[in-house]
Homo-oligomer: A and B are copies of this chain.
Amino acid sequence: MAATETLTAERILEATEEVLRRYGPAKATVVDVARVLGVSHGSVYRHFRTKAALREAVTERWLERTVVELRPYAEGPGPADERLTGWLTALFGLKRHKAGGDPELMATFQVLIGENSAVVDRHVDHLVGQIARIVEDGHREGVFAAPERDFATTARAVFDATDRFHDPAHAGDWSAPDIGDAFAAVVSLVQRALRP
């Protein structure tokens, strides 16, 4: 990559992901990232003050992609109950695709995720916030009942109840032949719980 291009945080993060994919999380260094970009490691440190900050940012960027891909379901249009099933189905699909499609990168990010629990907590908050928006819209549309407590608590319960279909701890189950039926049964349970 030509050093004459402006060195943006985004370019550094792209290069970091490439380096992590190539060397794995244990071996990847800031010097490797600088080499890929054709810049000095000092230039990288001007954007990310520590290696830990760089790793945190690349983890956040990776997780954020999921939030962006789910946004159409979170924001509509369409009836809220269909958006909720769409959102849950899309999340499960994205996670399965990540786990099955590029297991090495997935393993790399599992290590990074373990290092950055605050980033993961924020990510879960974003996802739960998307569900809360759908639940609130559904209440206004009359397709969902008023929640027993607040929308956020209900949204978190929906997220937790579908955990088996998005938590990477369960990735080993996602190729089981009956996993689609199990997913459909839990989504149906959640939909019944929300009905007025």
Contact = CB atoms under 8 A, between A and B. Distances in A.
B185 A149 contact: yes
A185 B169 contact: no
B186 A161 contact: yes
Which of the four size classes fits the interface of chain A? 20 to 34
A189 B164 CA distance: 16
Contacts of A181: 153
Interface of A: 145, 148-149, 153-154, 156-158, 160-164, 167, 169-170, 181-182, 185-186, 188-190, 192-194
Given A148-B192, A161-B189, A164-B167, 17 more contacts: A145-B192, A154-B185, A157-B185, A157-B189, A158-B189, A160-B185, A161-B186, A161-B190, A163-B164, A163-B170, A167-B169, A169-B169, A169-B170, A189-B190, A190-B193, A192-B194, A193-B193
Contacts of A161: 161-162, 186, 189-190
